[in-house]
Amino acid sequence: MARARLGMALQDLAGRIGDDQVLVRTRAGLAVRRMPRYRYPVPPALRASGERLRTVSVVWSDLSLPEVEAWRAWAATQKRRDPVTAKVYSPSAKNAFVGLGVKVLQVDPGAAVPRVPPGADYAGDGVRLVAAAEPGGVLFSADRPTGPGSVMELLTQRLVNARRSPTDRYVSAGFVRFEPGALEAFLPLAPGVYALAYRSVLASTGQMRPLSKLGVVEVG
């Protein structure tokens, strides 16, 4: 670490030198130090998402040519709409594979990533949910049990206040199976205003239905 003693006219000299050094004042005078590199804490949910993506990417790299060709053929049958341009397109084989594989691991971190595409479309199971704010969270109630292999994904979006309109950026809050005699699920939430949504997911393939929005509630 370099140091320098300067006259009174330069005593306030400080700042960045180049790309990785900075001039600072110390008790011994001015010193040149390497710029500090800060490490910000990564939220657990973001870390888990990254791990799922890495796991699925490794499996993709191990697929055989016939398996890749099967995903290419399946991806060509899938239609998406660009939210900005409204243009309809088909995803790439890798994007289709990764999207379903990540969802499978999100439902069950111990599940095997499917190496072959789904054999049929997923129509969902027709379960309808309603939600009501309660002290400390939200109570979701289903009109019937979930079908075989299906789970219900609960999603939330915290709003700045009750006057703010929700966007399409909902965050997954977990997955629930509703069984006969157990058609309710309580989701703990911090006090605030939330937009709520849900969707049906086929756990074994990662296929899912579009979001169903439940409106906005205020949790006390």
Residue 74 belongs to a domain: yes
Tell me the CATH number at 158. 2.60.40.10
Residue 96 belongs to a domain: yes
Digitized pLDDT (tens) for each residue of the chain, 220 residues in all: 444 444 444 344 455 555 666 666 666 565 667 766 666 777 888 889 999 999 999 999 999 999 999 999 999 999 988 888 889 999 999 999 999 999 999 999 999 999 999 999 999 989 999 999 999 999 999 999 999 999 999 999 999 999 999 999 999 999 999 999 999 999 999 999 999 999 999 999 999 999 999 999 999 9
Residue 120 belongs to a domain: no
End-to-end CA distance of the chain: 54
Q: Quick one: 141 and 185 in the same domain?
A: yes
Residue 113 belongs to a domain: no
H-run or E-run covering 7: none
Q: Within a 10 A sphere around the Cβ of 178, how many other Cβ atoms?
A: 23
Residue range of the domain that includes 9: 2-34
Q: Quick one: 134 and 194 in the same domain?
A: yes
Whether 28 contacts 47, CB under 8 Å? no
Q: Quick one: 98 and 145 in the same domain?
A: no
pLDDT at 6: 42
Residue 122 belongs to a domain: no
Whether 138 contacts 191, CB under 8 Å? no
Q: Quick one: 27 and 89 in the same domain?
A: no
Helix (H, G, I), strand (E, B) or coil at 199: strand
pLDDT at 100: 98
Helix (H, G, I), strand (E, B) or coil at 33: strand
pLDDT at 150: 98
The reported pTM is: 0.80
Q: Quick one: 179 and 200 in the same domain?
A: yes
Contacts by 31-36, CB closer than 8 A, 24 or more apart: 31/1, 31/2, 31/3, 31/4, 32/1, 32/2, 32/3, 32/4, 33/1
For 126, residues 6+ apart whose C-beta sits below 8 A from its C-beta are 144, 147
Q: Quick one: 22 and 90 in the same domain?
A: no
Residue 213 belongs to a domain: yes
Q: Quick one: 145 and 78 in the same domain?
A: no
- C-alpha to C-alpha distance for 118 and 42, rounded to whole angstroms: 33
Domain count, the chain: 3
